[in-house]
Amino acid sequence: MKPPSVLAGEEIRIDKRLPPPSERRTAHKWLKEDALQRYRDENGKGFELYISKIAEEKIRNHATSCVDHKREVMGLMLGGVYTHDEMTYSLVRDVVTTDLEASSVHVKFQREAFEKLFASLDEVGFKYVIVGWYHSHPGHKCFMSSTDIDTQKNLFNQPYHNALVVDPVNREIEVYFMKDGVIRTRDFAIYWDDFENPYHGTTIRKRVVRSDPDRMASPH
Ligand SMILES: [Zn+2]
């Protein structure tokens, strides 16, 4: 498998750019208490990762839709890497997804699953950097398994490569990244900004609005 060049650690362009302002960001509602506390502590300084509400909803809906079959889902997170005040951060603007064919609790990521994902990148309608991947652990909490860590090492070994793990049964979410060969957790914020919507003004990929009472409160 030949992954897209951005995955192989090639130099990417990092522009200076203001991160989403604090009034346009929020903590993910599935953060655990300690992560939520860290969010509050760090909200003033900013984060190394911002995930758009659109991308977050897609990830959560994707994971939730496969809960009944205990099926894991997986996708790539697309966006950009920027710098502001000497802090490098990633923006996740959208995701591309695929279901995994395997259906057990401990599923191994087949290389075909990633090939399928890479193939779907051609349809993305904006310029992007792959800033990580996400997958679900339905009912078995958030952590990085040895397979997950191998995937991170092989394909997502840059500091801006995030691994989002979501457990739609226990309603937990966690983001990991690799630094000096060690997996660490990364605090992040959800942001909303219609201007940042890569599909703003177009009719493709309409956002799915669900009547989920748990849905994050929208400012609009
Ligand atoms: Zn996993």
Residues with CB under 5 A from ligand 1 (ion): 145, 148
> In whole angstroms, what is the distance from residue 162 CA to residue 164 CA?
6
pLDDT reported for residue 31: 95
Tell how far the Cα of 134 is from the centroid of ligand 1, in angstroms.
9
pLDDT reported for residue 39: 94
Q: Six-digit token pair at 172?
A: 């937990």
Report whether 73 contacts 138 (CB < 8 A): no
Tell how far the Cα of 148 is from the centroid of ligand 1, in angstroms.
5
Report H helices in the chain: 33-42, 53-65, 111-120, 146-155
- Domain segments of the chain as ranges: 29-194
* Sign of the CA dihedral running 122, 128, 129, 134: negative
Class of domain 29-194: alpha beta
**Burial (Cβ within 10 Å: 0-12, 13-18, ≥19) of residue 177:** buried
In a structure prediction context, what are the per-residue pLDDT tens digits for the chain, which is 220 residues long? Answer: 445 545 545 678 899 999 998 889 999 999 999 999 999 998 888 999 999 999 999 999 999 988 887 788 889 999 999 999 989 999 999 999 877 765 555 555 666 777 778 888 877 777 888 999 999 999 989 999 988 998 899 889 899 999 999 999 999 999 999 999 899 999 999 998 765 566 655 544 545 555 444 444 444 4
Tell how far the Cα of 131 is from the centroid of ligand 1, in angstroms.
18
Tell how far the Cα of 45 is from the centroid of ligand 1, in angstroms.
30
Tell how far the Cα of 172 is from the centroid of ligand 1, in angstroms.
13
Tell how far the Cα of 126 is from the centroid of ligand 1, in angstroms.
28
pLDDT reported for residue 213: 47
pTM of the predicted model as reported, rounded to 2 decimal places:
0.82
- The DSSP call for residue 106 is S
* Sign of the CA dihedral running 40, 138, 151, 126: negative
- The DSSP call for residue 7 is G
